[in-house]
Amino acid sequence: MTTALDTTLDVVADLRTRMARLEAGTTAPPLETHPALAGLVQLRAGAAYSVDSATLALALLAGPSRAGGWCGVVGVPDFGAEAAVALGVDLERTVLVPDAGDQWLEVTAALVDVATVVVVKPPGRVVPSAAEKLAARLRKRGAALVAWGDWPRCEVRLTTREPAWSGLGGGHGHLRARRLVVEAQRGTAPPRRGALWFPAEDQSYRPVEPAPSVPLAEGVA
Amino acid sequence: MTRVMALWCPDWPVVAALADEGQPTHLPAAVLHANIVQATNAAARTHGVRRGMRRRDAQSRCPELRVHPANPDRDARCFEPVLAAVEEQHPGVAPMRPGLAALRAPRRLRGGEPAAAALLAERLVGLGVWDSRVGVADELFTAEQAARRAAPQDCHVIAPGESVPFLRGLPVEAIDDGVEGREAVSLLRRLGLRTLGELADLPATAVRDRFGGPASTVAWVHRVVGGAGAVPLATRTPPPELACHVDFEPPLDSAETIAFSVRQTADRVVAGLAAQQLVCTEVRIEAYVEGADDPPSVREWLHPRWFTAVDLVDRLHWQLQGGFRAGDVRAPVNRVAFTPMTVVPDAVHADALWGGTDERVQRGIARVQGMLGHEAVVQPVLQGGRSPAQRQAFVPWGERPTGLRPASHPWPGAIPPPAPARVLATPWPAEVVTDGGRPVAVDDRGAVLGEPSRFRPDPTGGWHPVAAWAGPWPVEELWWDATPRRVARFQVIGVDGRAWLMTWDTGVWWTEAAYD
């Protein structure tokens, strides 16, 4: 009796969220994002993001992974497991397909079915029609895609600028901390920039304080 | 009254390791884990190699000792044929651990228990297992101890009711089984207890207080020696005919049609198992085509929980899709066979019903495995090591990682954190030169010859001026080998601000990782 009622309530709640999603247009549910990137980008289910460096890709994996989601990584044979763990990626819930060959798109689509966020390094140029098909799948499954490289019509393009390592001298010391500027380009709007410690001296990943994130013209989403 | 027969193959890890690599068994060999000898064979023991010895001590006593890393999966795999052979003669075998199995002693065989044991030993010699020993007693612990006191290919029978006198005479080393047992033995000896009889004479409460509760090994042995030791024997009954197949007339050439047509067969496989209260965790699926005796598409599938009928159909579907696409299956399929490879009592998995890995995730991953092959989907794991590449490993999805180096130990020569975000699967050939264009080198004492000024991290890329560098972190890898490698690691930053981990390996530069 109770079970039947609960099921009905679940269905009603599910339908309501779906209606709300339809009414709200393109607003997709937000996914957990690494706190260091909080001022720059907010991961959303169903969207594709483009990054230009491995650390940023791992940082975008870390948010949903910390929240208990599964991660997929396709076409990245040089996955740095230790760096991923340092950022907060749970390897227990990480599926890695180092070399997917020609079938990388099919493999990515299959992993989108199971993972909350999938990192893919496309081996060549991506045809917009293929990206469209994948985007439909992403929206349906509520997953996010992080492309390491160019991706047609991506939501936000993250690029690293001015990396500055400290701790290394002329033959002595070792790499300790890196300060870099991450630029988030969203459509044609002016880019949002933020200086980050990636990592800081204490091996944490956080914005450089005080947060000098340039306010954005398009307003807060 | 049921009597228990224990079959013990001594030094099983060594026997399995040698058999797996096809090496002769009369030469000294040992299996090591974490540089400690876990098992040796008789030839090694004559040289004085003992269990618990460190690698260097063992090798100093017996320089020609061949060492193998411990691999429990290999031990279990090699024990399977032995179990199968025993099952042929005596239904109802309970494997206890690789190298040790228990069965019900046959009661009505002519010649009694020794004859049954002799038949068993003969069968095992046929398999190439020369050293097997059998013990027969009223219950399991006594039978195992009796087997340990039998001669090779022989049998030690403890008459009904004689268990307690037999056990009382055993030294306390008899419970030396695993780490806990070893510590317990050491403690018992220091307490002045030399035989299990002396242990049994202690009051039960004193034993429990001293040895950590009623669940501890010693308390359990105390109960057994005291005569209250009926250990239930969980048997693994060999299923009479669990394999099922289905024939197609006419043959079918589409994965969808075939998958649809095998539904009933898959139901039959699962129902047949369920009738014996078993579930299948590993299954072999074969697809045969006309005109070929060998099936062109064979794959063994593992399941983290157990296979349902839908799972079996799914696996077949993915296997055939992959097979048709890869061109392995060129002709229409006329027969599909399911053979359960590993079965377990369904009670073992009962608790996993409401927990464990998400089934949806497993299915999605299995689908990718169907497309690319089992090894193409991996799970990254961390381990100990010096270079970033050594500090991680990729384990095929669904397999247990084996042979990982412990990450907790100190690794001198390891690079301090942060860890590089890109660890190249195969290092790139690189170049690092001085101002004058001469390659930078490292001498025998580990000093850097020349100041790095320009470098090229990959052969196709351009040269970058060096902004800062540090090193060397020298590691002399395998210095005991005939051709020792002298390796020194450097961190290099280019003027563009990107940092690299580069290695000088006896005259050649490599790029190992990038701090991308």
Nearest CB to A95: which of B379, B382, B497?
B379
Q: State chain B's mean pLDDT as an integer.
A: 80
Distance from CA of A164 to the nearest CA of B (A): 6
Q: Which residue on chain A is closest to B366 by alpha carbon? A: A110
Q: Is B264 helix (H, G, I), strand (E, B) or coil?
A: helix
The token duo for B447 is 């000093």
Distance, in Å, from the CA atom of B75 to the CA atom of B262, rounded to the nearest integer, reads 35
The string of DSSP codes covering A77-121 is: TTB-HHHHHHHT--GGGEEEES--GGGHHHHHHHHHTT-SEEEE-
Per residue in B180-234, pLDDT (tens digit) is 667 778 888 888 888 888 888 888 777 777 776 544 667 767 777 776 554 443 4
User: CA-CA-CA-CA torsion for B508, B513, B515, B516, nearest 10 degrees?
Assistant: 110
- Which of B365, B435, B469 to substitute to test the interface with A, most A CBs within 10 Å? B365
Residues B476, B486 contacting (CB under 8 angstroms): yes
Distance from CA of A205 to the nearest CA of B (A): 11
Instruction: Determine whether the interchain pair B382/A98 forms a contact, defined as Cβ–Cβ distance below 8 Å.
Output: no
Q: Is B265 helix (H, G, I), strand (E, B) or coil?
A: helix
> Which residues have a Cβ under 8 Å from the Cβ of B350 and sit 6 or more positions away?
none
Q: Which residue on chain B is closest to A52 by alpha carbon? A: B516
What confidence category does residue A177 fall into, taking pLDDT thresholds of 50, 70 and 90? very high
> Which residues have a Cβ under 8 Å from the Cβ of B482 and sit 6 or more positions away?
none
Residues B139, B93 contacting (CB under 8 angstroms): no
- What is the pLDDT averaged over residues B361-376? 81
The pLDDT value recorded for residue A218 is 44
| Architecture of the domain spanning B163-225 | Orthogonal Bundle (1.10)
Instruction: Output b/e per residue, B411-442; b: 16+ Cβ within 10 A.
Output: bebbbeebbbbbbbeebbebbbbbeeeeebbb
Instruction: Determine whether the interchain pair B380/A171 forms a contact, defined as Cβ–Cβ distance below 8 Å.
Output: no
Distance from CA of B403 to the nearest CA of A (A): 18
Distance from CA of A37 to the nearest CA of B (A): 17
The pLDDT value recorded for residue A86 is 92
Distance, in Å, from the CA atom of A112 to the CA atom of A123, rounded to the nearest integer, reads 18
In this prediction, what percent of chain B has a pLDDT beyond 90? Answer: 12
Q: State chain A's mean pLDDT as an integer.
A: 85
Indicate if the pLDDT at residue A1 is higher than 60: no
Distance, in Å, from the CA atom of A76 to the CA atom of A176, rounded to the nearest integer, reads 25
What confidence category does residue B303 fall into, taking pLDDT thresholds of 50, 70 and 90? low
Least confident of A29-38, A44-53, B175-184: B175-184
CATH top class, domain B4-157:
alpha beta
Residues B135, B155 contacting (CB under 8 angstroms): yes
User: B423 or A7: whose pLDDT is higher?
Assistant: B423
On chain B, the residues whose CB falls within 8 A of the CB of A100 are 372, 376
- For residue B250, is the peptide bond before it cis, meaning its omega torsion is within 30 degrees of 0? yes
Q: Which residue on chain B is closest to A95 by alpha carbon? A: B379
The pLDDT value recorded for residue A216 is 47
- For residue B380, is the peptide bond before it cis, meaning its omega torsion is within 30 degrees of 0? no
Q: Which residue on chain A is closest to B377 by alpha carbon? A: A97
On chain A, the residues whose CB falls within 8 A of the CB of B424 are 78
User: CA-CA-CA-CA torsion for B376, B380, B386, B390, nearest 10 degrees?
Assistant: -10
Indicate if the pLDDT at residue B235 is higher than 50: no
Distance from CA of B81 to the nearest CA of A (A): 33
Distance, in Å, from the CA atom of B454 to the CA atom of B131, rounded to the nearest integer, reads 64
Instruction: Determine whether the interchain pair A98/B394 forms a contact, defined as Cβ–Cβ distance below 8 Å.
Output: yes
Distance, in Å, from the CA atom of B100 to the CA atom of B94, rounded to the nearest integer, reads 9
Residues B442, B112 contacting (CB under 8 angstroms): no
Q: Tell me, what amino acid is at B282?
A: E
**Angle, nearest 10°, between helix axes B217-225 and B178-190?**
70
Structural domain spans, chain B = 4-157, 163-225, 244-372, 422-515
- Which of A51, A61, A74, A78 to substitute to test the interface with B, most B CBs within 10 Å? A78
Predicted TM-score (pTM) of this structure: 0.55
Q: Which residue on chain A is closest to B385 by alpha carbon? A: A82
Where do the domains of chain A lie, and which CATH numbers do they carry?
Answer: 35-156 (3.40.50.300), 157-207 (no CATH)
The string of DSSP codes covering B143-179 is: HHHHHHTSPTT-EEEPPTT-HHHHHHTSBGGGG--HH
Q: Which residues are paired to B40 by β-bridges?
A: B30
Distance, in Å, from the CA atom of B211 to the CA atom of B218, rounded to the nearest integer, reads 6
Q: Tell me, what amino acid is at B81?
A: P
The token duo for B308 is 């349902």
Supply the ipTM of this predicted assembly: 0.83
B447 touches chain A (CB under 8 A): no
Q: Which residue on chain A is closest to B501 by alpha carbon? A: A175
Indicate if the pLDDT at residue B327 is higher than 50: yes
- Which of B375, B449, B504, B516 to substitute to test the interface with A, most A CBs within 10 Å? B516
What confidence category does residue B239 fall into, taking pLDDT thresholds of 50, 70 and 90? low
Distance, in Å, from the CA atom of A204 to the CA atom of A89, rounded to the nearest integer, reads 14
CA angle at B294 for the pair B289 and B298, rounded to the nearest 5°: 85
On chain A, the residues whose CB falls within 8 A of the CB of B422 are 54, 78-80
In degrees rounded to 5, what are phi and psi of residue B293?
-80, -40
CA angle at B431 for the pair B427 and B433, rounded to the nearest 5°: 150
Residues B5, B116 contacting (CB under 8 angstroms): yes
Which residue in the block uniquely carries the two structure tokens 């009889």?
B197
Distance, in Å, from the CA atom of B150 to the CA atom of B171, rounded to the nearest integer, reads 16
Residues B132, B121 contacting (CB under 8 angstroms): yes
- Which of A102, A111, A114 to substitute to test the interface with B, most B CBs within 10 Å? A114
Instruction: Determine whether the interchain pair A54/B372 forms a contact, defined as Cβ–Cβ distance below 8 Å.
Output: no
Indicate if the pLDDT at residue B354 is higher than 50: no
On chain B, the residues whose CB falls within 8 A of the CB of A97 are 368, 372, 376-378
Indicate if the pLDDT at residue A79 is higher than 90: yes
Q: Which residues are paired to B102 by β-bridges?
A: B6, B94
Per residue in B92-148, pLDDT (tens digit) is 666 667 788 878 777 776 777 888 888 888 888 888 888 889 998 887 778 888 898
Per residue in A102-135, pLDDT (tens digit) is 889 999 999 998 899 999 999 988 899 989 989 9
From the number of C-beta atoms within 10 Å of its C-beta (0-12, 13-18, 19+), residue B87 rates as middle
Residues B317, B259 contacting (CB under 8 angstroms): yes
- What is the pLDDT averaged over residues B80-102? 75
Q: How many CA atoms lie within 13 A of B34 on its CB side?
A: 6
**Chain A with chain B: Cβ pairs closer than 8 A:** 152
Name the nearest CA neighbour of B313 among B363, B386, B275: B363
The pLDDT value recorded for residue B98 is 75
Which residue in the block uniquely carries the two structure tokens 């691999």?
B71
Residues of B (365-384) whose Cβ lies below 8 Å from A? 365, 367-368, 371-372, 376-382
Q: Which residue on chain B is closest to A91 by alpha carbon? A: B380
Residues A83, B419 contacting (CB under 8 angstroms): yes
Distance from CA of B42 to the nearest CA of A (A): 41
Beta strands A170-171 and B464-477: pairing type? parallel
Beta strands B378-382 and B392-396: pairing type? antiparallel
Residues B400, B74 contacting (CB under 8 angstroms): no
Distance, in Å, from the CA atom of A41 to the CA atom of A158, rounded to the nearest integer, reads 9
B397 touches chain A (CB under 8 A): yes
Per residue in B253-277, pLDDT (tens digit) is 888 888 888 988 998 888 888 877 7
Q: Tell me, what amino acid is at A209?
A: E
User: A18 or B449: whose pLDDT is higher?
Assistant: B449
Instruction: Determine whether the interchain pair A171/B423 forms a contact, defined as Cβ–Cβ distance below 8 Å.
Output: no
CATH code at B244-372: 3.30.1490.100
Residues A208, A179 contacting (CB under 8 angstroms): yes
